[in-house]
Amino acid sequence: MPAMQDEPTQFRMVEQAGLKIVKTFDMTSVVSERASSTIIGHKRVAESPTLPISSSTHVVMVDETELAKEDRSLAFKRTYPELICESVARGSGAQRIASALSGEQFRFARDEINVPWRCAAVSAHIQQSAVNLTALKADADFLGLLPISPVVIGAEWKPDIEIVNSFFRPGGDLGFLSLDSSRGLVGEDSHLVVGSVVARFVGTKMVLGQRIGVISFEAVGERFITAGYEFDSRQNMVTGSVSFKGAGWIEWNLLANRPHAIQYIESATEVITTIAMEWNGRPLACRIASSESSSVLSGAWSPSK
């Protein structure tokens, strides 16, 4: 695992275009500076923890090291009310930066991936070691997802803060994300992004030249969620798993698809959740079961019979 840094990395939201400063994040980098750009350089979209979950105010987090690289892809952004942006598609279908990060607005955009890329203009600039974050409005209709949640990157476990992870891996590898109370959110190659989920988890994964899969989980009460997934649109296959504690419900979205069916059954000894949906015309199902002797629920996507 890459070496950890001692110096904290500060990510600050700034007042810009009349937007209020709502939160300052002080976080400790969990990997070396070079390796961290692979993680935090991909866009994280976050809602201030000081705002209600239902708030439509979001912020975007960027990293100048990553933005300066032409061989890196960038995560999606949502629609700003007055702007629908299109980006430049270059190379093997990767999302590239349309202009340099210099305090001016730059655009992301649709490439050959067949998704309704309604993106936001992002305004941000770098001040020494700090990354300034600009509050943005989220589009709850984007890909049918609900408004997204706060993100935290750091070396400490923070059970009172939610996390949103946009984890794009250039090169075509299928990614896997998992979350537990001892190790936090873990990606491929032991890249560690620590956080916790108390209400919502949204993850994205891009395979260059292929389609983008989006999963969305929402919990109520004190449910704790662990989520992981893999997909390969070339073979029309989707696999994934979820784990959680407590009562509530789950929503799983892939592209613009909504869950085909959700069944939630809870008894005194066992909880069974079955989610069925279609992916490129092929039915998929996930069955999640737990008993009193098991502290977490688990399941896997597979073609439904």
Query: Tell me, what DSSP letter sits at residue 181?
Result: T
pTM: 0.18
Confidence of residue 272 (pLDDT cuts 50, 70, 90): very low
The mean pLDDT of 144-167, rounded to a whole number, is 25
Q: Cβ distance 189 to 211 under 8 Å?
A: no
pLDDT for 295 equals 27
Q: Is position 252 within any domain?
A: yes
Q: Which residue has the tokens 């395979």?
A: 207
φ/ψ of 214, rounded to 5, equals: -130, 130
Q: Please name the residues in contact with 293: beta carbons below 8 A apart, sequence gap of 6 or more.
A: none
Residue 3, domain member (yes or no): no
47 found inside a domain: yes
Q: Please indicate, yes or no, if residue 213 is contained in any of the structural domains.
A: yes
Pairing of strands 8-13, 130-133: parallel
Residue 218 forms part of a structural domain: yes
Contact 203, 249 (CB under 8 A): no
Sheet containing strand 301-303, strands side by side = 261-266, 270-279, 282-291, 301-303
How confident is the model at residue 178, as a pLDDT? 31
How many domains, in total, are found in the chain?
Answer: 1
Domain membership of residue 212 (yes or no) is: yes
- Report the distance separating Cα 232 and Cα 213, nearest Å: 9
Residue 65 lies in a domain: yes
* Token reading at 23: 């939160």
**Is 2 inside any structural domain?**
no
173's tokens: 């590898």
Burial pattern 10-49, b for ≥16 Cβ within 10 A else e, equals ebebbeeeebeebbebebebbbeeebbbbbbbbbbbbbbb
pLDDT at site 286: 40
pLDDT of residue 268: 41
Q: Which domain holds residue 250?
A: 8-303
pLDDT tier, 51 (very low <50, low <70, confident <90, very high otherwise): very low
